[in-house]
Amino acid sequence: MTHDHSHTSGSRRRLAIVFGIVLVIFVFQVIGSIMTNSLALLIDTGHNSVDLIGIGIALFAAALVRKPPKGQKTWGFRRAEVLAAGAQATLLLGLGVYSLIEGIRRFFVPPEVPGPELMLFGAVGLVGNIVSIIILSSSKEQSLNLRAAFLEVIADALGSVAVILAAVSIWLFDWTRADAVAALFIAALIVPRAFSILKETGSILLEVAPRQLDLDKVKMHIEGVEHVQEVHDLHVTRIDSNLPVLTAHVVLADECFYDGHAPRILTALQECLAEHFRVAIEHSTFQFDRAKDAAQETHTHN
């Protein structure tokens, strides 16, 4: 539990620092969007605003996750992280759709955009994004929100590069459509990421087993433990991105209930699940069934 809390505390600190950086970039880019009338910079600014909202929600969710289970909330607020990531992805999807529509419109009716000013604001955004990437890179796999924030900052950085390239094209070649092209490029970055995060959050809410976990192999390993005759009613779900939970009915030889083997088998099963697989399952619940009752139990649960 202490280990989990240290991870959570570190995650919150990193998210808080990145929140401050993104806030500075956002304010600067709002000014730039007004001054330059650039759609690409506007969409990049909108992307930053969604990141701000998402990181703010993630910080709030991280605080909720630290609260211990109480009353009917037997898992506390562990699902808050998943809901936060889903809310951020929904906002991103809306922004992506808007940028696609507006980018197509401006491609055919391009407005005047000053290249040098656009380059300045794009460069500031890129520097801030690079700093944020460095901060999040070492902890991006610790939670769904950190991973989502890391990937969105990378997308922001690529968006800033697109803004800079558009500025160069406008400044040196007077190609005003470059702004719309850059906006469409940013949209192409945003929309797939939004769908990817929604898919991940949806799979957790629908209690789909982690994709890195082969349930057939899990069943095989459980049945490979001495005195285990059969496994049925096997379920693996996730409470949040880092908390898989397993339940199963395990059929043991009848004598295990009388000769003291059952507690040792339980320890062996829990150690196997926590240490053997790529996805460590540290929360597992087993119901031991006698072999002579297995037929009736299997019929009841299947």
pLDDT at residue 145 in the model: 66
Per-residue DSSP letter, 293? G
Residues 6+ apart with CB under 8 A from 302: 232, 233
Per-residue DSSP letter, 242? T
Count other Cβ atoms within 10 Å, centred on residue 288.
15
Kindly list the distances between the CA atom of residue 157 and the CA atoms of 37, 85, 127, 210, in Å, as whole numbers in the listed order.
20, 20, 8, 30
Report whether 284 contacts 247 (CB < 8 A): yes
Per-residue DSSP letter, 254? G
Q: Are strands 244-252 and 228-238 parallel, antiparallel or unpaired?
A: antiparallel
Predicted TM-score (pTM) of this structure? 0.79
Options 1.10.3720.10, 3.40.1710.10, 3.30.70.1350, 3.40.190.10; CATH of 215-301: 3.30.70.1350
Instruction: Pick the more confident residue, 134 or 292.
Output: 134
Examine the pLDDT at 298 and tell me if it is beyond 60.
no
| Distance of alpha carbon 180 from alpha carbon 237, whole angstroms | 44
Give the model confidence (pLDDT) of 277-297 as tens digits: 888 898 999 999 987 776 665
Give the model confidence (pLDDT) of 27-64 as tens digits: 999 999 999 999 999 999 998 888 888 788 778 777 77
Report whether 241 contacts 144 (CB < 8 A): yes
Find how far residue 43's CA is from the centre of its chain.
Answer: 22
For the segment 130-134, the average pLDDT, to the nearest whole number, is: 93
Residue 27, token pair as written in the block: 């304010």
Examine the pLDDT at 2 and tell me if it is beyond 50.
no
pLDDT at residue 1 in the model: 44
The answer to whether domain 2-205 has CATH 3.20.20.70 is no
| Distance of alpha carbon 276 from alpha carbon 104, whole angstroms | 51
| Distance of alpha carbon 110 from alpha carbon 208, whole angstroms | 46
Phi first, then psi: what are they for 206, rounded to 5°? -85, 0
Domain range list for the chain: 2-205, 215-301
